[in-house]
Amino acid sequence: MGHVLIPISLLLFNGIVAIAAVESACVEDSSGSFLLQKAAARRAPTVVKNKTEEPQVQPEKGVCVARDDIDKTIPIEDVLKQYPGQDGWCVYGSFGPWARECAVARQKGDVLAFSKVYSPIYSYILTGPNATQKTYRMPSGQPLTTRDHYFPLDDVYCFINGWYDLDRQKLINNYTYLEQVSEAYCQSLEATLPYYHRLSMKSMDVEAGLDEWSFNHLTNLPQSVITGMKVHGAVKCLLGGGKGAVCDLANCARRACLLADGSLGYDARGECPPV
Ligand SMILES: *[C@@H]1O[C@H](CO)[C@@H](O)[C@H](O)[C@H]1NC(C)=O
Ligand SMILES: *[C@@H]1O[C@H](CO)[C@@H](O)[C@H](O)[C@H]1NC(C)=O
Ligand SMILES: *[C@@H]1O[C@H](CO)[C@@H](O)[C@H](O)[C@H]1NC(C)=O
């Protein structure tokens, strides 16, 4: 049986694992503590819990520190001071494939493989009869039509950050460019989020829970969702020493593109130019 592991709000946030085949889906609730996970689990066909798959510390696999050694409530910058010279993505690598797969990509300076990590999940959820269109409206009034009923936040995140407007080919294939875009984005967050330097991993959990609620209950998204996306991005930035959003950018570049009529096309549906 195929084994699809489905996470929470942003796929890039919670720990999903790669997939073998996608015929019938099981869902792994990898930490069990998130509102979003519970919601995703409710929607999903089967839930399999498997705590025995906690990753071992293996820096070359993107896990530099054991999960129990990290307090999620402590600001990320303070945690990372305890591990000088180490990439925060690897320090937090035990938190999920989203972190450790990214740590490996950062070690290599190459996001091509990372950009495909979630492709099987996206294929599963973005194709087929259930991938119907649903339109959300941003606080600005701008509409966003998604087909993702599991991780619509991924689209909101990529969209409001302007990452669907960029050169997707270049983002995935030119790491120098990717880092430049990431650094500029992170600097803008540092300048606009007053509590940027105090953000912890828990900040992202809290944000994710609130955002999921909004998504399940509203189609006109409140400003808090936009702020939540900034918190999410800022946490990713902080993990990479203030410029760490490279993997999220790569995921957006792979996932979808803006079509000529302003709607979203998906790589999984063959609607985007190849990258
Ligand atoms: C949990 O993972 C371990 C190690 O991969 C495996 O041996 C075991 O069968 C898994 N259990 C379940 C319930 O999937
Ligand atoms: C589509 O959604 C229905 C209702 O949630 C579910 O029973 C069915 O398995 C889904 N089909 C696919 C292909 O995911
Ligand atoms: C990669 O991007 C950088 C920065 O935008 C640019 O200077 C460089 O020419 C690009 N390299 C290639 C091979 O396109």
Q: What is the DSSP string of 42-68?
A: HHSS-EE--GGGPPPPBGGGTB-S-GG
pLDDT at 73 (0 to 100): 95
Stretch (H or E) spanning 28:
strand 27-28
Q: Provide, for the chain, the percentages of residues in helix, strand and coil under a 3-state DSSP scheme, each rounded to the nearest 5.
A: 50, 10, 40
pLDDT at 51 (0 to 100): 56
Does residue 41 form part of some domain? yes
- Which of 221, 12, 215 shows the shortest CA–CA distance to 111? 12
pTM here is: 0.81
The pLDDT of residue 11 is above 70: no
pLDDT at 9 (0 to 100): 44
- Cα(52) to centroid of ligand 1, in Å? 7
> How many separate domains does the chain show?
1
Domain coverage including residue 245: 3-269
What are the tens digits of pLDDT across the range 129-174?
989 999 999 999 999 999 988 888 889 999 999 999 999 999 999 9
Ligand 2 pocket test: pick from 26, 27, 130, 147 the residue with the most ligand atoms within 8 Å of its Cβ. Answer: 130
Q: 14: how many CB neighbours lie within 10 A of its CB?
A: 26
pLDDT at 42 (0 to 100): 40
The pLDDT of residue 55 is above 50: yes
Does residue 227 form part of some domain? yes
Distance CA 247, CA 68 (A): 25
What are the tens digits of pLDDT across the range 226-248?
888 899 999 999 999 988 999 99
Does residue 274 form part of some domain? no
Does residue 84 form part of some domain? yes
Of all protein residues, the one whose alpha carbon is nearest to atom 4 of ligand 3 is 177
- Cα(239) to centroid of ligand 2, in Å? 36
Average pLDDT, integer, range 253-264: 90
Question: Given CA atoms 192, 180, 244, 222 in this order, what sign does their dihedral have?
Answer: positive
**CB contact at 8 A, 149 and 212:** no
